[in-house]
Amino acid sequence: MKLELIKQAALINGEWLPAQEGIPVCNPATGQELGQVPALSSAHIHDAIKAAKKAFLSWRKTSALERSKLLEAFYQEILSNEAQLASIVTLENGKPLNEALAEVRYTASFVQWFSQESRRIYGDTIPGNRSSQRLLVQKEPVGVCAMITPWNFPSAMLGRKMAAALAAGCTLVAKPAESTPFSALALGVLAQRVGFPKGVINIVTGDPQEIGALFCSSPLISKISFTGSTRVGRLLMSQSAGTLKRLSLELGGNAPFVVCADASLEAALDGAMASKFRNCGQTCIASNRFLVHSSLYPAFVKGLTERVEKLRVGAGHVEDIDLGPMINQAAVQKVKELLLDATQKGARILTGGIPQGDSLFVKPTVLVDATAQCKLWNTEIFGPVASITPFDTDEEAILLANDTSYGLAAYLYTQSSKRAWELSEALAYGMVGLNTGRISTAQAPFGGIKQSGLGREGGRYGLDEYLQLKYICHELI
């Protein structure tokens, strides 16, 4: 397939600025260079911000119906190009092609959702103190939004931010991750094709620290939406203090996967595989700690080990596989260190193993007997490692599950409705998968609490992130 959507250029004010002296982008499965994107200067970033500000003045005045129609056309265009977009995701990120296609459809589903939600930006009227008073509340777009996105879902993480912002009437400057910029730039090509006015969508590439600092300090930017590590999220928050920006931060997780005594073992195993090994374990909602009631523990350990042994690891762009490579050496080294630490503290590997050499292909691994003293208990593993721990009572399960500073997603398996309610409410997380390992969908609010961040993406709540309230007090004279 010819990949004409791979664009080696940044999008500023409707113009494509080609890469000279660019940043190379490589296929993690082969190390082969796919192309380059520009290392933009700060002057270029300022140009992009200014273009978004200028475009905002007219974009904010478009009717909800107009924005809805453009987003609907964008949705159709993404679907019409889904095979090519999926190939780009696999080439730059390494995930299996079927997962890449699912990601592209997931991106499209947000664009469709927000195309429809843009028509439901409702306000309020409030009874006044006198008959001559009318009190109104209306919602307005916040302004220019900066978006910084990660490499693990290079299409979807940007698509869901863009769609919400555009639906609200905001304009944007986006900076994708340096290892996976082509999926984001391809969305820019398609958005232009369907007719978004120039300057409404700008996509820049270059040095992340420099661009992040420029976004945070720019008085022209009203909001930053970031998905990535808790470390960078905190940095952006502190850098934004000077300009008091609105922030949405979707940060790290440390998801517990709790299997109660009355759970369906088969369903729990299915959910465990789905929540753990997608994208080679590199998702923020990946299960990080499997907590299994002691009565089911031996069967769960056996079942998961058998399933993990069947997983096929390889290069997604040439063969049918379950797990691709990890994104880079730093990611592999982290998994290696966590496994060395755990095994030194008494944990046992049942299948898989500690990564050796410098390959980015890591064997999916099942580990038992890791304790809360092991680093992986409190660290987002972000790799294909499943660590399983038994528990005896519901109280103990909740204590173990909540024993983390993160609060993004948790999973719970039980067939009792009483336990389902009580334990879901006791889990200190922004999202709970109850008898499912697959929770992400466009109509639901995705996001976390505690060190997992602020704000929600998706659902009707996702639109509010890009809107501000205006109260109008009208005296009838």
Q: Are strands 409-413 and 144-148 parallel, antiparallel or unpaired?
A: unpaired
Q: Which is nearer to ligand ADP, 178 or 403 (CB)?
A: 178
- Asked whether position 329 contacts ligand ADP by CB under 6 A, the answer is no
What is the nearest approach in angstroms of ligand ADP to the Cβ of residue 390? 31
> Is 250 an active-site residue?
yes
Q: Which is nearer to ligand ADP, 177 or 185 (CB)?
A: 177
- Asked whether position 149 contacts ligand ADP by CB under 6 A, the answer is yes
Q: Binding ligand ADP by CB under 6 A: which of 25, 148, 200, 385?
A: 148
Q: Binding ligand ADP by CB under 6 A: which of 6, 12, 177, 191?
A: 177
- Asked whether position 40 contacts ligand ADP by CB under 6 A, the answer is no
- Asked whether position 414 contacts ligand ADP by CB under 6 A, the answer is no
Q: Which is nearer to ligand ADP, 148 or 467 (CB)?
A: 148
- Asked whether position 369 contacts ligand ADP by CB under 6 A, the answer is no
- Asked whether position 235 contacts ligand ADP by CB under 6 A, the answer is yes
> Is 395 an active-site residue?
no
What is the nearest approach in angstroms of ligand ADP to the Cβ of residue 71? 24
- Residue 161 and residue 171: Cα distance in Å, rounded? 11
What is the nearest approach in angstroms of ligand ADP to the Cβ of residue 219? 18
List the x/- string, 77-116, binding to ligand ADP by CB under 6 A: ----------------------------------------
Cα of 179 vs its chain's centroid, Å? 15
Q: Which is nearer to ligand ADP, 253 or 462 (CB)?
A: 253
- Asked whether position 324 contacts ligand ADP by CB under 6 A, the answer is no
Stretch that binds ligand ADP, among 25-33, 148-156, 398-406, 415-423 (CB under 6 A): 148-156
Q: Binding ligand ADP by CB under 6 A: which of 30, 229, 329, 351?
A: 229
Residues that bind ligand ADP (CB under 6 A): 148-150, 175, 177-178, 208-209, 212, 228-229, 232, 235
User: Mind telling me the catalytic residues?
Assistant: 250, 284
